[in-house]
Amino acid sequence: MKTELEIFRNGREFILEIVNKLSNDQLNEVPEGFTGNIIWHLGHMVVTHRGLVYQLGGHRSGMEKEFLLKYVRGAKPEEKTSDEEIEFIKRRLIEQADEFETDLEAAAFPDEYREFKTMTGYTIKDKAGAIAFSNFHQATHVGYILCLRRLVE
């Protein structure tokens, strides 16, 4: 799982390097023809990683329900995200990588997971599938963010 963790952490560090160069207004901007903005995608990455890797394995979300509902699949930004929440999301991106590493080393994840069929048709059944799909999901949203960045700069 060392490689999977390195990919996860690298993706988080890469995207933070990019978004830290943007203003909070740029992070909140929803370009014409889009339903989301950069900060929504970052929050969604935080929520989804926790759901896929932790909750499907029987752990609690560890996040407030209001936060979860703002960033789950199908949600969209309804209002400007505050500066405080933007900083929280950015911190969580790296904190999650640290927690993930600690939890992998402590063998905190069960081998069996509650089965979950993703919208791409892949069914998560175990720890390896949850971690691999979390990385795939993260990469997808990094792509969205890179596209949105070009439109808000």
Measured distance CA(119)–CA(121) in Å, rounded: 5
| CA 18/CA 10 separation, integer angstroms | 12
pLDDT of residue 72: 96
- All domains of the chain in start order, with CATH: 2-152 (1.20.120.450)
Instruction: Tell me the pTM.
Output: 0.94
How high is the pLDDT of residue 50? Answer: 94
Lowest mean pLDDT among 88-97, 105-114, 120-129: 105-114
Give the model's confidence band at 111: pLDDT under 50 very low, under 70 low, under 90 confident, else very high.
confident
What are the pLDDT digits (tens) for 22-68? 999 999 999 999 999 999 999 999 999 999 999 999 998 788 999 99
Alpha helices in the chain (DSSP H): 2-19, 24-28, 38-49, 65-71, 83-105, 127-152
56 touches 128 (CB < 8 A)? no
